[in-house]
Amino acid sequence: MSATKLDMSTASLRDVNSTLHAAKSGSFEIINPRGAHAIAAGITTDITVDVADSVGYYSAGMNQVGTVRIEGNAGTGLAENMMSGLVHITGSATMSAGASGHGGLLVIEGNAGARCGISMKGIDIVVGGNVGHMSAFMGQAGNLVVLGDADADLGDSLYEPNIFVRGDVASLGADCVEKELRAEHVETLTHLLGSSGMTASPSDFRRYGSARQLYNFHPDDIDAELAEEGLT
């Protein structure tokens, strides 16, 4: 069955998203997106959407179950708060790609800008190129795989995601440390690289995660110490 064509040179964003939200299944092709924002945001069913050119902010935002493929680049917040499904972009994404994503797979064949995977909560993100500064900032769960380099302050204030980088890391953020790449991580990497169509050897990656030193406050208590020593 051929894809239903949605032409944004004539159809409004509302028309396009209404059509996608109403669909229970099927394939759609969006042509002439002209960098519009929020294209294919809020999909809840197992549909496939192919976007024929570059898109603006928050494309495929909060995607659930659906598959969104973008032939081009994306603006800020690509697939933000994604819950499940697949979002795949052939070009590069600017800031905050995959921000606060809870699940699903986000594939960026090119580079990702600053704060890629910020506040990630379970999403898997695979970036073919480099990621910008403060990527995975305050990340909570999930996997960020970077085949290129990572800019400064990678993984700052991290909770429990895994970050895998094949290239150079400019610097690690607060409480982010390099960790051992164990067999289960190689397995995860193998799976994610395969799912995203990337070719790379898992053993070439280094893994980064939380040192867990910022998880709790560590107040002093001089009075209690003195009391214990019988000095008060």
Partner 1 sequence: MTNPPWNLRESYTYDRNVIAEIRRAANTGIYRIRGWGAKRELPTLDDLVVLGASMSRYPLEGYREACGTDVVIGEGRAEIPVRLDIPVTIAGMSFGSLSAQAKEALGRGASAVGTSTTSGDGGMTEEERGHSKTLVYQYLPSRYGMNPDDLRRADAIEIVVGQGAKPGGGGMLMGQKITERVAEMRTLPEGIDQRSACRHPDWTGPDDLEIKIIELREIVDHRVPIYVKVGAARPFYDTALAVKAGADAVVVDGMQGGTAATQDVFIEHVGIPTIAAIPEAVRALRELGVHRGEVKLIAAGGMRSGADVAKALALGADAVSIGTAALIAIGDNNPALEAEYNAVGSSAGYFEDFQTGNDPAGITTQDPELSARLDPEIGGRRLANYLRVLSIEAQTIARACGKSHVLNLEPEDLAALTVEAAAMAKVPLAGTTWIPGDGLGVLHRENS
Residue 111's nearest CA partner among 79, 80, 81, 133 is 133
For the chain, report the end-to-end CA distance as a whole number of angstroms: 83
Binding segment for partner 1 (CB under 8 A), chosen from 35-43, 65-73, 168-176, 197-205, is 35-43
List C-alpha distances in Å: 230 to 211, 220, 225, 227: 35, 18, 9, 5
| Overall residue count recorded for the chain in this entry | 232
Spatial separation of the C-alpha atoms in residues 60 and 49, rounded to whole Å: 10
Nearer to partner 1, 56 or 202 (CB): 56
Is-contact 127 147, C-beta < 8 A? yes
The binding track of 118-157 with respect to partner 1, each residue x by CB under 8 A or -, is xx-xx--------------xx-xx----------------
Minimum distance, C-beta of residue 14 to partner 1, in the bound complex (Å): 7
> Is residue 70 near partner 1 by the rule CB under 8 A?
no
**What are the CA-CA distances from residue 53 to residues 42, 90, 92, 144, 147 (Å)?**
19, 10, 12, 25, 24
Between 39 and 126, CB nearer to partner 1: 39
For the bound state, the minimum distance from the C-beta of residue 5 to partner 1, rounded and expressed in Å, comes to 20
CB 122, min distance to partner 1, A? 6
Which one of 9-17, 26-34, 173-181, 184-192 is the stretch in contact with partner 1 (CB under 8 A)?
Answer: 9-17
CA dihedral for 194, 199, 202, 208, sign (positive or negative): negative
Whole-number minimum distance, CB 150 to partner 1, in Å? 18
Distance CA 111, CA 171 (A): 18
Binding string, residues 185-224; x marks residues near partner 1 by CB under 8 A: ------------------------------xxx-xxxxx-
Q: In terms of DSSP bridges, do strands 206-210 and 162-165 run parallel, antiparallel, or are they unpaired?
A: antiparallel
Residue with tokens 């867990």: 212
Of 54, 96, 130, 135, which one interacts with partner 1 (CB under 8 A)? 96
The answer to whether 133 touches 113, Cβ cutoff 8 Å, is no
Return the range that interacts with partner 1 (CB under 8 A); candidates 56-64, 65-73, 172-180, 192-200. Answer: 56-64
> Which of 57, 89, 96 is CA-nearest to residue 73?
89
Q: Which range, of 10-18, 143-151, 174-182, 189-197, touches partner 1 by CB under 8 A? A: 10-18
Say which amino acid occupies 126. V
Query: Could you list the residues that contact partner 1 (CB under 8 A)?
Result: 13-14, 17-18, 21, 37-38, 41-42, 44, 56-58, 61-62, 64, 76-77, 80-81, 83, 95-96, 99-100, 102, 115, 118-119, 121-122, 137-138, 140-141, 159-160, 215-217, 219-223
